[in-house]
Chain A
Amino acid sequence: MKHDYYPPGIKGIDGDYTAALAGNPNTGKSTVFNALTGLNQHTGNWPGKTVTQARGYYRHRGKTAVIVDLPGTYSLSANSLEEEVARDFICFAQPEVTVVMADATCLERNLNLVLQILEITPKVVVCLNLMDEAERKGLKLDVDQLADELGVPVVPTAAHIGRGIAELKDKIHSVAVSEILPRPKPVTYSQQLEEAIRQLETSLQRVYTNGISRRWIALRLLEGDHSVIEAIREYSLAEGKGAE
């Protein structure tokens, strides 16, 4: 199943773990991608899509990390092709780590995507980029408190001058090899909605969901978005065929 998501050629690189790079546009995502992978990059289209995908790799602490650059999106609501591609990769390819970029100069706007991704997977590292610009603007950010509030590691960076990249690699490694087990604090909804989520989660236990967060699937079902279920149906069929 995992391999369905790789464009031709990527199968050649078998990393020890895969990290997806998600984030809003204009957060310096490509800069971070370049800083992480240097010249070890390949670009291609997502299979069957007109969205370009870049991937690369680097070695760190004796392991090879494959980085997949997801399209820049503001949310994962599958409103557009880009959002769908990003969402499906996180859901179905299940990278060991998802790095979510956030622009330090407009944190609030960027936290939306972070919180949405945390509903899908706990294995997240937040990369708080453009820290130097935030400092110039006189913004004071309490990185430790942010990590505490979100329940996942947060790495402050200024990628265009290479600041924080080493630490980012460290944190990606730690989450990938489960040295760190992030415990995100979920967004809580109204009592009725939470009750409905709980009931659906119970029915979801009878369905093979390939390890995708049940709470997240429940939420999508409740808001009438069936595309996730259809995607699960498609992929479980493909999986079934592959196993035969």
Chain B
Amino acid sequence: MGVDAALNLDELIEHGRELRNKLGPETEIQDEIVTSIYRRAEAIASKVAAQAGGRGRDWNKTIDDLLTSRLVGFPLMLLLLGGILWLTISGANYPSNALAALFFMLEDKLTFLFLRWQTPEWLHGLVVLGTFRCLAWVVSVMLPPMAIFFPLFTLLEDLGYLPRVAFNLDNIFKRCGAHGKQALTMAMGFGCNAAGVMAARIIDSPRERMIAILTNNFIPCNGRFPLLISMAVLFLGAGGLKYGSAIASLTVAGMVLLGIGVTFLVSYVLSSTMLKGISSSFTLELPPYRRPQVLQVLVRSVLDRTLFVLWRAVKVAAPAGALVWVLANTNIGGMSIIEHLAGYLDPAGRLIGLDGFILLAFILGLPANEIVIPTLLMSYLGAGALLELESLSAMRELLLARGWTWLTALNVMVFSVLHFPCGTTLLTIKHETGGWKWTIIAVLLTTGTAFLACLLITQVVQTLGLLF
């Protein structure tokens, strides 16, 4: 039967081709089939369904027309983003300080215990000044913003707003030679870049999928938001400025926009160089708006996201804290290891408006972006005078003493948004692209972009003499 069947199938394909040629171009036939089915669906629906009152569906459509219109769509998107960030920043301020105060009271108690038990000094340093302090920073800086940001974000998701964002951005992605669904993987990146990279599976074309994978890291994930928020609060919206938290929110929103802008730019560059091709089409459904189930959203975002991310950060922060303490307190030739390392990196750091310690903190933060700031503070502290860090303003004092300006903070934010992906994301990229080649390209692409951007900012600011 095998051979016969194969023969018949080929004849059949030939017969089909003949008939098709008589009928007209393929696309016309496809169109006719699709249109006929749509018409029948329309006819049946109009016979079977009747709208009492005639309001329900129009309401949905009116909102859609507004949210996805050219004129209102984009400003509204920005407004929502800014609003969420403002709520997060102004809401997180108080609990963050309270948590920090609580943890450092605990630190004092711990120190007291260690003294009473007459434990060696290095043990106290490793456990209290290293591990505990790093944990305390991660929790007090991360928990409040996440507990506010995630539920708000999930609410928007539940409402059905995210597909509208994808719809709004589709056109731009197309023009960059990328896939419209990249808007969705990008949105996923706000949660976690590893998840965003994995989500790129929804893009079928390998070329466009690769673009989505390589650029996902330009979207600041929740591990980087605390850094952006604390930098913005401490240096750009601080000093008793009126509208301080509004300025800080705008700065963070600006960083998000920078990430999105760079995503577009790099997608465009990739699709016209390494990954040439045209973008393919797809269906995007705009699901009806549903009233979010608020209680469920709260539970889900607190349990699934906030605690999950926090736990992950804690797991990394504890050993990292210990490691940094060791590096900062082991002296070789009169200088600690961390000072040696920072010394090597310093010239490169200075060039782009950072310093060696900051670059080192980003490198040590490879396992998880959440620990960059705690690592930085620890290495500053360990190498210099031991300050008590009982509040956020103490953190500002410490950084100012290290010669920080608003430019440094800005560069740290820009670098954080654009630099190499964290360890988890890198492993995901390797897994999804099937090898180290694209993983290394991802590292070079992002870090190169980060260097260029910071260099540009620093040079422009210094040349124009904007620093005061």
Interface residues of A (CB under 8 A from B): 24-26, 50, 74-75, 79-81, 105-109, 111-112, 114-116, 136-142, 145-146, 149-150, 187-190, 192-193, 196, 199-200, 203-204, 206-208, 218-219, 221-224, 226, 229, 232-233, 236-237, 240
Selected from A81, A141, A203, A237, the residue in CB contact (under 8 A) with B49 is A141
Task: List which B10-65 residues lie within 8 A (CB) of chain A.
Answer: 11-13, 15-16, 19-20, 22-23, 26, 29-30, 32-33, 36-38, 40-42, 44-57
What are 28 pairs between A and B in contact, CB < 8 Å?
Answer: A25-B287, A80-B204, A81-B204, A111-B40, A111-B44, A116-B37, A137-B57, A139-B52, A141-B50, A142-B47, A149-B48, A150-B44, A193-B29, A193-B32, A196-B19, A196-B22, A199-B15, A204-B12, A218-B16, A219-B33, A221-B20, A223-B29, A224-B26, A224-B30, A226-B13, A229-B12, A236-B2, A240-B5
- A26→B285 contact, CB < 8 A: yes
A189 touches B49 (CB 8 A): no
CA–CA, A87 and B49, complex, Å: 28
Kindly report which residue of chain B lies nearest to residue A190, judged by CB atoms.
B32
In the complex the two chains form, is B6's CB within 8 Å of A233's CB?
Answer: yes
User: How far is A22 from B68 in the complex, measured between Cα atoms in Å?
Assistant: 30
Interchain CB contact (< 8 A) of A240 among B1, B23, B285, B288: B1
> Chain B's interface: helix, strand, loop or mixed, by majority?
helix
The 8 Å CB contact of B283, one of A74, A107, A236, is A74
User: A221 with B16: in contact, given A196-B23, A240-B1 (CB under 8 Å)?
Assistant: yes
Q: How far is the CA of A80 from the CA of B179 in the complex (A)?
A: 14
Q: Is the CB of A138 within 8 A of B9?
A: no
Residues of B whose CB lies within 8 Å of any CB of A are 1-2, 5-6, 8-9, 11-13, 15-16, 19-20, 22-23, 26, 29-30, 32-33, 36-38, 40-42, 44-57, 201, 204, 282-283, 285, 287-288
Interfacial chain B residues near A188, Cβ < 8 Å: 36
| B33 A207 Cβ-Cβ under 8 A | no
Alpha-carbon distance between A210 and B13 when the two chains are bound, in angstroms = 17
Which chain A residue has the least Cβ–Cβ distance from B41? A111
**B195 smallest CB distance to A (angstroms):** 15
**For B8, B22, B45, B282, which residue has the most chain A Cβ atoms within 10 angstroms?**
B45
Q: How far is the CB of B370 from chain A (nearest CB, A)?
A: 30
CA distance A106 to B286 in the complex (A): 11
- A206-B8, A224-B29, A233-B5 given; 20 more Cβ-contact pairs under 8 Å: A79-B204, A107-B44, A107-B48, A108-B41, A108-B45, A111-B41, A138-B53, A138-B56, A139-B49, A149-B44, A187-B40, A193-B23, A193-B29, A200-B16, A203-B11, A222-B16, A224-B20, A233-B9, A236-B5, A240-B2
- Alpha-carbon gap, A80 to B284, bound state (A): 13
How distant is A104 from chain B, measured CB to nearest CB, in Å? Answer: 8
Beyond A115-B37, A138-B51, whether A199 also contacts B19 by CB under 8 A is: yes
Say how far A113's CB is from chain B's closest CB, in angstroms. 9
Q: Which residues of A contact B12 (CB under 8 A)?
A: 200, 203-204, 207, 221, 229
Measured CA separation A135–B48 after assembly (Å): 14
B19 to A223, Cβ gap below 8 A? no
Establish whether residues B13 and A200, one from each chain, have CB atoms under 8 Å apart when the complex forms. Answer: no
Of B15, B41, B55, most A-chain CB atoms within 10 Å:
B41
Q: Hey, which chain B residues are within 8 Å of A193, CB to CB? A: 23, 29, 32-33
Chain B: minimal CB distance from A159 (Å): 15
Contact A111–B45 (Cβ < 8 Å): yes
CB within 8 Å for A112 and B38 given contacts A138-B55, A203-B15, A221-B12: yes
> A200–B16 Cα gap in the complex (Å)?
7
State how many angstroms separate the Cβ of B114 from the closest Cβ of chain A.
50
Chain A nearest CB from B408 CB (Å) reads: 44
Top 4 closest A-B pairs, CB basis?
Answer: A221-B16, A137-B56, A111-B41, A108-B45
Contact call B22/A187, Cβ cutoff below 8 A: no
Least CB separation from B203: chain A residue:
A80
* Contact status of A25 and B22, CB under 8 A, knowing A115-B41, A116-B37, A193-B29: no
CB neighbours of B19 from chain A (8 A): 196, 199-200, 222
Nearest residue (CB) in B for A144 is B48
| Nearest CB in chain B: distance from A184 CB, A | 11
Alpha-carbon separation in the docked complex, A219 to B26 (Å):
12
A72: nearest chain-B partner, CB-CB? B285
Q: Which residues on the B side are within 8 Å of A208 (C-beta)?
A: 1, 5, 8
Nearest CB of B to A51, in Å = 9
Residues of A contacting B22 in the complex (Cβ-Cβ under 8 angstroms): 196
Q: Give the residue name and chain of the B residue nearest to A106 (CB).
A: B288
Q: A24-B285, A80-B204 are in contact. Are A207 and B38 (CB under 8 A)?
A: no
The CA of A140 and the CA of B56, in the complex, are separated in Å by 12
Are the CB atoms of A115 and B20 closer together than 8 Å? no
**B51 contacts A139, CB within 8 Å?**
yes
Do the beta carbons of A237 and B51 come within 8 Å of each other? Answer: no
Q: How far is the CA of A14 from the CA of B53 in the complex (A)?
A: 50
Distance, CA A38 to CA B420, complexed state (A): 44
A189/B2 in contact, CB under 8 A:
no
Q: B41, A112: Cβ atoms under 8 Å? A: yes
Whether the Cβ atoms of B42 and A192 lie closer than 8 Å is no
Structural contact, B44 and A140, CB atoms closer than 8 A: no
Chain A residues near B56 (CB-CB < 8 A)? 136-139
Query: For residue B6, which residues in chain A have a CB less than 8 angstroms away from its CB?
Result: 233, 237
Residues of B within 8 A of A229 (CB): 9, 12-13
CA distance A167 to B297 in the complex (A): 32
Residues of B contacting A192 with CB < 8 Å? 23
| Least CB distance, B49 to chain A, in whole angstroms | 5
Residues of chain A lying within 8 A (CB to CB) of residue B32: 189-190, 193
Closest to A143 in B: B48
Q: How far is the CA of A217 from the CA of B259 in the complex (A)?
A: 48
Given A108-B41, A112-B41, A221-B16: A146 and B48 interface contact (C-beta under 8 Å):
yes
